[in-house]
A and B are shown apart, each in its own frame.
Chain A
Amino acid sequence: MTRVAMTVNGKAVTGEVEGRTLLSSFLREDLHLTGTHVGCDTSQCGACVVHVNGQAVKACTMFAAEAEGADVTTIEGMANADGSLGTIQQAFQDFHGLQCGFCTPGMVMSAAALLKENPTPTEAEVRAYLEGNICRCTGYHNIVKAILAASGQSVPAVAAE
């Protein structure tokens, strides 16, 4: 077992992990941050996307030990300080960008990474960026709209097209 220490959502955390323990397992099982979801075993689905030192990372592709000393943000750390939904989260609710909610944490984390990199993406750029996030419920239509809206671009209101 290896001792790891990192910052998760602004709090210092430590844990004892096996070398093979994935960051996704450490977050879910040791820290009980179950908002990070695991939807596949081949690093395709993106439900486990978190930010590590500001970069979007699939938490199932990284060992917990590799995150030693890192600054990690998960979906649990995305709301405003007063607990209200952050801009991207609010846009997902306003534009019905989620249904079952399982892919949603990864979608929000990827969207945040995209908008940091490209503050006003085109529809095509949003779709291309989401290549690593699979949603089975929404057909992506409202996810794309939510991300465009979160970027401050004008988007037709939901159920008004």
Chain B
Amino acid sequence: MPDGGIGASSKRREDLRFLTGRGKYTDDINLQGQAHAHFVRSDVAHGRINSIDTSAASSMPGVIRIFTATDFEGVGGIPCGWQVTDRFGEVMQEPKHPILAEGKVRHVGDPICVVVADTLEQARDAADALVINITPLEAVLDMKAALAEGATKVHDDLNSNLCYDWGFVEENREAVAEAINNAHHVTTLELRNNRLVANPMEPRVAVGDYDFSTDEHTLYTTSQNPHVIRLLMGAFVLGIPEHKLRVVAPDVGGGFGAKIYHYAEEAFCTFAAKTIGRPVKWTSTRSEAFISDAHGRDHVTKIELALDENGKFLALRTDTHANMGAYLSTFAPSIPTWLHGTLMAGNYTTPLIYVNVKAVFTNTVPVDAYRGAGRPEATFQLERVVDKAAREMGIDPVELRRRNFITEFPYATPVAVEYDTGDYHATMDKLLQISDHAGFEGRAALSKANGKLRGFGIAHYIEACGIAPSNLVGQLGARAGLYESATVRVNATGSISVMTGSHSHGQGHETSFAQVVADMIGVDENQIDIVHGDTSKTPMGMGTYGSRSIAVGGSAMVRATEKIINKAKKIAAHLMEAAEGDIELKDGQFSVAGTDKSVAWGDVTLAAYVPHNYPLEDIEPGLEETAFYDPANFTYPSGAYGCEVEVDPATGKVTVVAFSAADDFGNIINPMIVEGQVHGGLAQGIGQAMIENCAYDDQGQLLSGSYMDYAMPRADDLPMFTVDHSSITPCTHNPLGVKGCGEAGAIGSPPALVNAVVDALQRAGHNVTHIDMPLSPDRVWAAMNS
């Protein structure tokens, strides 16, 4: 077996181009004759558009055309990909989401018109000459006020600002209430999951092109799922059939959810390229990204946990207001519901659970999935309320969790999902070991001697990822399937191209996917290329999000490779005049069991394409197979996270001095890449808990609209991490036994950090039970001194 394969920390092949400046990102694409688009966006949160005077701007140098909503009459709005049914059986309220604002603007950043000019500078200069008359209206910002009788409506044609009122499991509502009313102890916590901006380092870009000779449209875009964009934009917005629409997402500089969705700018550039007869390019500035990329989180929650006298969880009730923003982004309705409510059992045997979510329209940027998407919101409230309950009942937080851990699998939760495997005591044990939990008191004493307050916080998470399966998500309201695809094309001389519907925007698929195929066939990884990100090259696939690439996309690739191996064995059997059942494949050699006869991989692949000596009566020439894989269930990674902080009592400043993560991701393909994924997730989760916050003022102006004001974690905000993934309970229902690792870090870390700060403060005698994120010095200091 060559070096590499499953389990090896193979170095990433994509790094060679990224480290030498040869990556090909969307903004690096410049087409012959391209024009540049500049979007003119609303600077008020809510207002009525009285007039748009383009006359002066139109005659500015270089201006080709100025587009407004009237240019899009007959064109569809931006579609929503998930329909939630409320607890009364009614479908959600779904407003139109136009490409350019029609009559009203509904958030700061809502696009009103677009100037297309020869150069970007000319487009911007001309935009300054536009005269747009808007009457400001009251901005709807607070979710609870938005639901009050008589509140100003974000959408005049809807009944109210309520998108849906979702209950889950609705039949449990009364039983949960009764259990809470009769319990020995009830712990209640009210909290906010702060609004965040995903902030992949590459801002979004779209380049539209149209070929009049073939009637083909091409869109180059910064997307996590080019096929999804082709389907949504082609079928629902512009009416372009798939065979005339190619969507390319080349090297993409991070996504974290924000590049899943179909955005107006993509449809605009595709539409405008045909309209003006030239390619049209738009590149977001960072400031524009803050007011046009979908935001994440923004839940306000009350959670109640009922316990018996021994600390056994009896019932859980949670009541959440989830901010949708001004329009429904592609997957927005699913995040606070099916990606959130289904996770409320956590790692625990709580028998009765009821989740109520009211999704609310406000005059803010649309909110959708951000790394973790619903699962961080579920984990945060659950792991905070468990910690609070432990402190109220005088039970050690680790012990209280252990008393309630699920230990038998498969386990059907009362919130509709079935965990296939897990070993939560094992991950907790591993965490206590790698974090030197036993040595904490000694470290706390040293901190005290230095005038600092030290605290240790624990969280245990579960996530449902590998998102999938289609029939289930269809029942839950998804307007798409969630399978994945792969085509394995073996060339005559034995090299292999794998075309995957998954997309890599930092995850290293070009390396880890090649490891899997190399391992299965027994050839060198360098003989395998992974092709992704172009709808003209890859089979229809649903893309990368929800930690699904290796679990779903990798499984499709395994299935296609199995088909290849089966066919290659038939060819090998023919070449060696042996029975097919006797053929073995090892290290790239086919041999006949019990004999010394063998043929090499390259001999078989050549025979497939030069079929002179070939079983043509049984099988076709060639060696290329496609598989679509639709899993039987989600996967359920889990893990125990420990955070150790020091708080400066004079200033309230929190320093994360250590962070340990013990995860169970099932089987691991490339440990180096897995650890990198955890590190990145931890940084985003610690960022949320410590410093990041998307803040609006009372007029709906975004206060944190640039890197001057939105605190991105820097290198000196973070410690070295201690991560472990040696607790392995393989997934039982996919061929690789993998679970996915992309989001774990962002899910498990915020509650661990807040629990650690509360621990530090309580140890110092402060009666602080909760502080809302981010735990900025002023908030911590105020909590200590209130």
Residues of A within 8 A of B (CB): 18, 20, 28-29, 33-42, 44-45, 47, 74-76, 78-79, 85, 89, 92-94, 96, 98-105, 108, 123-124, 126-128, 130-131, 133-144, 158-159, 161
Q: Are A100 and B12 within 8 A (Cβ)? A: no
Chain A residues, CB < 8 A from B28:
28, 34
**Which of B11, B252, B720 is packed against the most chain A CB atoms within 10 Å?**
B720
Q: Which residue of B lies closest to A161 (CB)?
A: B722
Sorted nearest first, the 8 A-B pairs with minimum C-beta distance are A35-B21, A101-B18, A102-B253, A100-B506, A139-B683, A44-B707, A99-B506, A139-B679
The residue from B22, B30, B505, B715 contacting A130, defined by CB atoms under 8 A apart? B715
Given contacts A45-B286, A89-B20, contact A131 B714 (CB under 8 A): yes
Given contacts A98-B19, A103-B201, A159-B671, contact A138 B507 (CB under 8 A): no
Q: Are A141 and B672 within 8 A (Cβ)? A: no
Chain A residues, CB < 8 A from B9:
158-159
State in angstroms the CA–CA spacing of A21 and B287 once bound together. 19
State in angstroms the CA–CA spacing of A128 and B14 once bound together. 28
State in angstroms the CA–CA spacing of A89 and B18 once bound together. 10
Q: Are A100 and B714 within 8 A (Cβ)? A: no
Chain A residues, CB < 8 A from B30:
29
**Which of B9, B12, B20, B683 is packed against the most chain A CB atoms within 10 Å?**
B20
B781 located at the interface, meaning its Cβ lies under 8 Å from any Cβ of chain A in the complex:
no
Chain A residues, CB < 8 A from B16:
85, 93
Chain A residues, CB < 8 A from B449:
none
Q: Are A99 and B286 within 8 A (Cβ)? A: no
Residues of B within 8 A of A (CB): 9, 11-12, 14-23, 25, 27-28, 30, 121, 199-203, 251-254, 256, 285-287, 505-508, 671-673, 675-676, 679-684, 706-708, 712-716, 718, 720-723, 745
Q: Are A98 and B15 within 8 A (Cβ)? A: yes
Chain A residues, CB < 8 A from B286:
39-42, 45
Q: Which residue of B lies closest to A141 (CB)?
A: B679
Chain B residues, CB < 8 A from A78:
20-21
Given contacts A42-B708, A93-B15, A141-B720, contact A100 B676 (CB under 8 A): no
State in angstroms the CA–CA spacing of A37 and B22 once bound together. 11
Chain A nearest Cβ from B12, distance in angstroms = 7
Q: Are B12 and A47 within 8 A (Cβ)? A: no
Chain B nearest Cβ from A79, distance in angstroms = 5
Chain B residues, CB < 8 A from A42:
286-287, 706-708
Q: Which residue of B lies closest to A99 (CB)?
A: B506
Q: Which residue of B lies closest to A18 (CB)?
A: B121
Given contacts A98-B15, A99-B680, A130-B716, contact A139 B721 (CB under 8 A): yes
State in angstroms the CA–CA spacing of A71 and B222 once bound together. 33
Chain A residues, CB < 8 A from B706:
40-42, 44
Chain B residues, CB < 8 A from A144:
715, 720
Chain B nearest Cβ from A41, distance in angstroms = 5
Chain A residues, CB < 8 A from B672:
96, 158-159
Q: Are B721 and A104 within 8 A (Cβ)? A: no
Q: Are B718 and A108 within 8 A (Cβ)? A: no
Q: Which residue of A lies closest to B20 (CB)?
A: A79
Q: Are B707 and A140 within 8 A (Cβ)? A: no
Chain A nearest Cβ from B713, distance in angstroms = 8
Chain B nearest Cβ from A8, distance in angstroms = 12
28 pairs of residues in contact across A and B, judged by CB atoms under 8 Å: A20-B121, A28-B28, A35-B21, A35-B22, A36-B21, A38-B203, A39-B203, A39-B286, A44-B706, A45-B707, A75-B21, A85-B19, A93-B11, A93-B16, A93-B19, A96-B675, A96-B676, A98-B19, A101-B253, A104-B18, A130-B714, A130-B716, A134-B712, A138-B683, A140-B713, A142-B676, A159-B9, A159-B671
State in angstroms the CA–CA spacing of A99 and B9 once bound together. 14
Chain B residues, CB < 8 A from A126:
715
Q: Which residue of B lies closest to A129 (CB)?
A: B715
Chain A nearest Cβ from B53, distance in angstroms = 27
Chain B residues, CB < 8 A from A39:
201-203, 253, 286
Chain A residues, CB < 8 A from B745:
139
The residue from B15, B202, B716 contacting A92, defined by CB atoms under 8 A apart? B15
Q: Which residue of B lies closest to A158 (CB)?
A: B672
Q: Which residue of B lies closest to A33 (CB)?
A: B21
State in angstroms the CA–CA spacing of A123 and B287 once bound together. 32
Chain A nearest Cβ from B228, distance in angstroms = 19
The residue from A47, A85, A130, A139 contacting B20, defined by CB atoms under 8 A apart? A85
**Which of A20, A44, A138, A139 is packed against the most chain B CB atoms within 10 Å?**
A139
Chain B nearest Cβ from A128, distance in angstroms = 5
State in angstroms the CA–CA spacing of A85 and B121 once bound together. 37
Q: Are A101 and B15 within 8 A (Cβ)? A: yes
State in angstroms the CA–CA spacing of A39 and B287 once bound together. 10
The residue from B19, B200, B723 contacting A104, defined by CB atoms under 8 A apart? B19
State in angstroms the CA–CA spacing of A47 and B683 once bound together. 19
State in angstroms the CA–CA spacing of A99 and B19 once bound together. 11
Chain A residues, CB < 8 A from B673:
96
Q: Are B121 and A101 within 8 A (Cβ)? A: no
Q: Are A138 and B680 within 8 A (Cβ)? A: yes
The residue from A94, A139, A143 contacting B682, defined by CB atoms under 8 A apart? A139
Chain B residues, CB < 8 A from A85:
16, 19-20
Known: A96-B12, A108-B19. 9 other contacts (CB 8 A): A42-B707, A75-B19, A89-B19, A93-B19, A99-B506, A100-B254, A105-B21, A127-B718, A130-B715
Q: Which residue of A lies closest to B714 (CB)?
A: A131
State in angstroms the CA–CA spacing of A28 and B283 once bound together. 14
Chain B nearest Cβ from A95, distance in angstroms = 9
State in angstroms the CA–CA spacing of A79 and B20 once bound together. 7
Q: Are A142 and B716 within 8 A (Cβ)? A: no
Chain A nearest Cβ from B760, distance in angstroms = 22
Chain B nearest Cβ from A160, distance in angstroms = 8
State in angstroms the CA–CA spacing of A130 and B708 once bound together. 16
Chain B residues, CB < 8 A from A47:
201
Given contacts A42-B706, A93-B12, A158-B9, contact A99 B20 (CB under 8 A): no
Chain B residues, CB < 8 A from A139:
679-684, 713, 718, 721, 745
Chain B residues, CB < 8 A from A98:
15, 18-19
Chain A residues, CB < 8 A from B712:
44, 134, 136
Q: Which residue of B lies closest to A76 (CB)?
A: B21
State in angstroms the CA–CA spacing of A139 and B28 once bound together. 26
Chain A nearest Cβ from B430, distance in angstroms = 14
Chain A residues, CB < 8 A from B507:
99
Chain B residues, CB < 8 A from A161:
722-723
Chain B nearest Cβ from A135, distance in angstroms = 7
**Which of B203, B508, B680 is packed against the most chain A CB atoms within 10 Å?**
B680
The residue from B11, B508, B716 contacting A131, defined by CB atoms under 8 A apart? B716
Chain B residues, CB < 8 A from A35:
20-23
The residue from A40, A94, A103 contacting B707, defined by CB atoms under 8 A apart? A40
Chain B residues, CB < 8 A from A76:
20-22
The residue from A38, A108, A134, A136 contacting B680, defined by CB atoms under 8 A apart? A136
Q: Are B20 and A127 within 8 A (Cβ)? A: no
The residue from A18, A38, A89, A100 contacting B252, defined by CB atoms under 8 A apart? A100
Chain A nearest Cβ from B128, distance in angstroms = 14
State in angstroms the CA–CA spacing of A139 and B721 once bound together. 9
Q: Are A102 and B25 within 8 A (Cβ)? A: yes
Chain B nearest Cβ from A157, distance in angstroms = 8
Q: Are A101 and B14 within 8 A (Cβ)? A: yes
Given contacts A76-B21, A159-B9, contact A128 B716 (CB under 8 A): yes
